[in-house]
Amino acid sequence: MSAPEPAPPPSWPAACPRTWLFAPADQQRKLDSALGSSAEAVIADLEDSVVTERKAHARERALVFLTAGAAPGAGGPMRVVRINDPLGQEGSRDLDALAHLPGAVLMVPKATLASLERVRAAGPLSAIALVESALGVAQAESIAALAHVAALALGTIDLSAELGLRALPDGLELLHVRSRIVLACALSGVPAIDGVYAAVGEAAGLAEEARRARALGFAGKLCIHPAQLEPLRAALAPTPQELERARLTLAAYESARSGRRGAALLDGEMVDLASVRVAQRVLGLASTDGE
């Protein structure tokens, strides 16, 4: 019997969600709180935040979570479920329980080509590949090219543990990995999502890491507490200065085109078609905030 056709990637609301908030699937109060927050995507977690004895209960709640989100007029943030490793027993049970929901979006931990093939074979599901192992990084380009993979996310904590990384200024210990994930995503036209910032109470550190992630090309960032949402949203949004520069860039280019020139100067800097693409991307980010 042939494997089912992969589900098409989800239609992101306007653009890829920027703020992705985890909540344990077995704790309804935290799930409800996450759904009522400003998170653009909520991830009901079946993996690390759920003890073995409560996996079955969490699985039942995750099914309700996804079903309610698929109901007509449900609205609210995008709903995702992080399953357990599909190559393990609990992950197989997760797929058995959720695979009948066409188009459901599952975050796949410790993602590799083998584990994502297991998801593809299970049903018409979309996958967010959580890259958090050396093998996952090595396979990143191939993973991003899979038809049912909607995005790649970076699992910084597990990956750092496997590689024996230690913190360096400005996150330099993960610079190569972050750049490789973004490049893999760009090759296949899917979004890259940066990993969590573990220090919940350090808003300034979170904002700085988010700004670096955006500068590297990430479209969003995972978070583990509602208190991280607003600092994260502000850090990932274009600044007023960036917005004004983008508008001036477009105006300068249009003026050049009207004069049958392919480039212009703006404050001594050349503006060409590549500059226009950058400006349009900045303004596109702003449009998701209603500006």
Phi-psi region of 274 (alpha: psi -120 to 50; beta: other; left: phi over 0): alpha
CATH code matching the domain that covers 19-236, chosen among 3.20.20.60, 3.30.2270.10, 3.40.50.10680, 3.40.50.1100? 3.20.20.60
On average, the pLDDT of the chain sits at 89
Q: Given this model, what pLDDT does residue 3 score?
A: 52
pLDDT of amino acid 176: 97
> Residue 237 — left, alpha, or beta (φ > 0 → left; ψ -120 to 50 → alpha)?
beta
Q: Is 114 exposed, middle or buried (0-12, 13-18, 19+ CB in 10 A)?
A: exposed
CA 125 from chain center: how many Å?
17
**C-alpha separations of 158 from 58, 78, 154, 184 in Å:** 22, 25, 10, 20
Q: What is the pLDDT of residue 199?
A: 92
102: how many CB neighbours lie within 10 A of its CB? 12
Which residues are paired to 23 by β-bridges?
44
State the pLDDT at residue 278: 76
pLDDT tens, position by position, 198-231:
999 899 999 999 999 999 999 999 999 999 999 9
Domain extents for the chain?
19-236, 240-287
Average pLDDT over residues 138-165: 97
Q: Is the pLDDT of residue 9 over 60?
A: no
Q: Residue 12 above 60 pLDDT?
A: no
